[in-house]
Amino acid sequence: MRPLLELFWSFFKIGVFTFGGGYAMIPLIQREVTDRKGWIPAQEFLDLLTVAQSAPGPISLNTSVFVGYKIRGYAGAVASVLGVVVPSFAIILVIAVYFADIRRNPVVDAAFRGMRPAVVALILAPVFSLGRGMHRALMLVAAAAALAIWLLDLSPIYVILAGAAGGILWELANIRKLRP
């Protein structure tokens, strides 16, 4: 059985040295738990990653929960989540403490203005990569949903619920077509 501290430390290192969001952490988590530590076989990691992607929440947290649980049960899940979250929490806490003092600094303000396009690109990149294999009609539906949220100030929750209902109705209609 793996010590909880070793599990925490592995995920702590990943949390400290990963920039670019949750998807950027996945290769580091895989390298750590499959290649370096050998805790989980590669195919099993891919299965855990599939479950993590389908669960609500950030992919990096979901992956750390499932990997930690697989390795050491509930205690492992807690240790791995804490390992991945504590670095970000500490960094944000330090920034928040000093941000009020430096927010009016013209250099800091210029840096934030310069980061905006990069943040937009980081958000749009996964959208385009997910949309590559999507049918054109579904791309139009996604664009209409985004415009409805943006222009009509519609809650994303309603758009998600409408999409789920539409998907269920679509599948039910296809099932009826297949029946003789």
The string of pLDDT tens digits covering residues 140-170 is 888 888 888 889 988 888 888 888 898 899 8
Q: Are 61 and 22 in contact (CB under 8 A)?
A: yes
CA distance 177 to 138: 21
Query: Which token pair is 144?
Result: 């209409």
The reply to whether 109 and 42 lie within a common domain is: no
The reply to whether 149 and 76 lie within a common domain is: no
Residue where a domain terminates, one of 55, 83, 102: 102
The reply to whether 58 and 80 lie within a common domain is: yes
The reply to whether 53 and 126 lie within a common domain is: no
CA distance 101 to 70: 44
Query: Measuring CA to CA, how many Å separate 149 from each of 116, 142, 157?
Result: 20, 11, 10
Query: Which DSSP category does 123 fall into?
Result: H
What distance, in Å, lies between the first and last C-alpha atoms of the chain?
55
The reply to whether 32 and 80 lie within a common domain is: yes
Domain hosting 162: range is 134-180
CA distance 14 to 11: 5
Confidence class for position 61, pLDDT limits 50, 70, 90: confident
- Which amino acid, residue 97? V
The reply to whether 71 and 141 lie within a common domain is: no
Q: What's the pLDDT at 48?
A: 85
The reply to whether 75 and 121 lie within a common domain is: no
Average pLDDT taken over every residue of the chain: 83
pTM (two decimals): 0.57
The reply to whether 149 and 110 lie within a common domain is: no
Phi, psi torsion values for 89, nearest 5 degrees: -60, -45
The reply to whether 37 and 80 lie within a common domain is: yes
Q: For 62-84, what is the mean pLDDT?
A: 92
Residue where a domain terminates, one of 102, 119, 147: 102
The reply to whether 38 and 112 lie within a common domain is: no
Q: What's the pLDDT at 160?
A: 84
108/151: higher pLDDT: 151
* Number of domains the chain contains: 3
Q: For 111-135, what is the mean pLDDT?
A: 74
The reply to whether 8 and 90 lie within a common domain is: yes
What angle is formed at CA 83 by the lines to CA 60 and CA 54, rounded to 5 degrees?
A: 20
Report which of 69, 87, 90, 84 is spatially closest to residue 25, judged by C-alpha positions: 84
Q: Are 15 and 21 in contact (CB under 8 A)?
A: no
The reply to whether 84 and 18 lie within a common domain is: yes
